[in-house]
A and B are shown apart, each in its own frame.
Chain A
């Protein structure tokens, strides 16, 4: 027997409407000021639309006004979780335009700083992932280890977050005395710690249940959406700028590119994206050891005029940041200011994909999805 109850105007009495829910902009688990407009049918989302732009600071436009050297501190703010790699991208772009060659020791200093920054960023990503799922302890542990790296970087360049360490032509300052030994001592402490984080989090049944088979990104979709970095590698695509479009002195180091294997579900689910970051920390530690062992002598910065005027032209450089391939398109017109700067960041591509992935997910899984993509909102908006 079917109940056919209708209102006088013919509408079904039991018809439901989608609920529109705002998540953010000040939601604690949206990794920055970021808003999602969720259309949900009960707990199940029909779509989650990202509303970006809250953190837009027009950094690309500022570059046209402050000049080549003066823009360096601004690049710290593009992605403040891993400022070293962004520094490096800008320096590389300016160097290619001006035909400056970086001394070898300068390149090694850059690699050491960038890999420390990568560990720093991945620690925060792994910790925040646990926090978003509901495990609070890993976050405090990860941030605690991150403090040790911050102390090292503070000694190196005088700041804990916005480093401004690299310069066009090299790095600003040489490694302080005894820095290599300190990094090695930190790595001796850190490498067992990654296993500890593994024990603490990765094997937890609840954690696996929340992440495995959630928001699976297939290999084809990942490439179609132009995902980069750990997000792409978690889907089984072995693509790392450090290996495949080598820059700096990365070809001299021996390291592996971890990819997602789908240990607890399908390849490319949230759990894979988490574990790839954990493996990458181990690989960064490997690179750091090799870089400190093979540190050459010599100057750290090439001679670059204070009034830097590269020849007119354009350049497109790629750098592997913790959030993937960050590419900078810089146009110079021969003056002391860049003509145009455009940054293409990894979080931006990941953000674009969330709308497709969110269809049919639970609202609580959206938090896991954002965390697993390791989205840093200021990097999306710039």
Chain B
């Protein structure tokens, strides 16, 4: 009989032991935020620099090397490059990324020599059809970018290339970004001597 009562007493007291922990949480700061309407800033802007969100392509600096297409393990990137016989230039006629298929692994943005294909911090992609998840970046045939030995001088392209090279260098070694580009980004380091000029401390320029 005493064992019976003892069990009940022990059960009730041990419940209150746990309840004391629960109760202490009334006086702690909550961890949760009210997404999306009561956020002081957009969630996207609070995400870390390396966040792998939707892919984006800057066609101005795309060299058409197909490295990203080859690196993609699920073939969600489709690129078509044609050779223009008259001007001897390479024309990008198609650059599609199926964001519904994409698994956001980041393998495509690593080999990119100029940082043209890169992850943004956008992630809100709900839509009504799968077709609308295919992002078509080439609207009309575009000439591929050719790295210049003397460094880029076109004022329209310089900021884009700067952003791209920052992405390439900082993603790999965020601390070493202001210094010389690391060996890992060696193929990328050649075309852009003027590249990693920006300091590492401003990650919000992305996208």
Contacts and interface: CB of A to CB of B under 8 A. Distances in A.
Nearest to B176: A174
Nearest to B24: A196
A164 B107 contact: yes
Contacts of A203: 14, 17
Contact of B50 (A66, A71, A157, A201): A157
Given A72-B107, A174-B173, A203-B17, A66 B47 contact: no
A199 B11 contact: no
A177 B175 CA distance: 6
Interface in A198-241: 199-201, 203-206
A73 B172 CA distance: 18
Name B's interface SS: loop
Interface string A141-180: 0001001000000111111001010000000111011000
A77 B19 CA distance: 37
Interface residues of B, number: 38
Interface string B144-167: 000000000000000000000000
A66 B14 CA distance: 54
A139 interface: no
A199 B17 contact: yes
Nearest to A303: B183
Contact of B14 (A67, A144, A164, A206): A206
B108 to A, nearest CB: 11
Interface in A53-84: 66-67, 69-74
B18 A200 contact: yes
A137 B25 CA distance: 11
A157 B18 CA distance: 36
Given A73-B107, A306-B111, A137 B50 contact: no
A104 B173 CA distance: 16
Nearest to B52: A158
Contact of B103 (A71, A162, A199, A299): A162
Given A173-B50, A203-B14, A73 B174 contact: no
B73 interface: yes
Nearest to B67: A306
A158 B48 contact: yes
Contacts of B119: 158
Contacts of B31: 144, 147
Contact of A173 (B17, B105, B171): B171
A200 B16 CA distance: 9
Contact of A201 (B11, B18, B107, B200): B18
Contact of A205 (B10, B104, B182): B10
A112 interface: no
A200 B50 contact: no
A319 interface: no
A69 B107 contact: yes
A285 interface: no
A301 interface: yes
Nearest to B184: A301
A206 B15 contact: yes
B18 A70 contact: no
B69 to A, nearest CB: 12
Interface string B70-108: 011110000000000000000000000000000111110
B48 A154 contact: yes
A289 B20 CA distance: 30
Given A72-B105, A174-B174, A177-B174, A155 B21 contact: no
Contacts of A173: 50, 171-174
B7 interface: yes
B71 A159 contact: no
B52 A159 contact: yes
A196 B21 contact: yes
A13 B124 CA distance: 64
Interface string B169-198: 001111100000011100000000000000
Contacts of B2: none
Given A154-B48, A306-B111, A69 B174 contact: no
B184 A199 contact: no
A174 B21 contact: no
Nearest to A199: B21
Nearest to B171: A173
A158 B106 contact: yes
A154 B51 contact: yes
B34 interface: no
Given A73-B73, A158-B106, A200-B18, A206 B172 contact: no
11 contacts: A69-B107, A72-B105, A73-B107, A74-B73, A135-B18, A155-B50, A158-B48, A158-B52, A173-B172, A176-B48, A199-B17
Given A69-B71, A174-B175, A204-B15, 13 more contacts: A66-B73, A70-B71, A73-B73, A154-B51, A164-B107, A177-B200, A199-B18, A199-B21, A203-B17, A204-B17, A205-B14, A299-B182, A301-B184
Interface of B: 7, 10-11, 14-15, 17-18, 20-22, 31, 47-52, 71-74, 103-107, 110-111, 119, 171-175, 182-184, 200
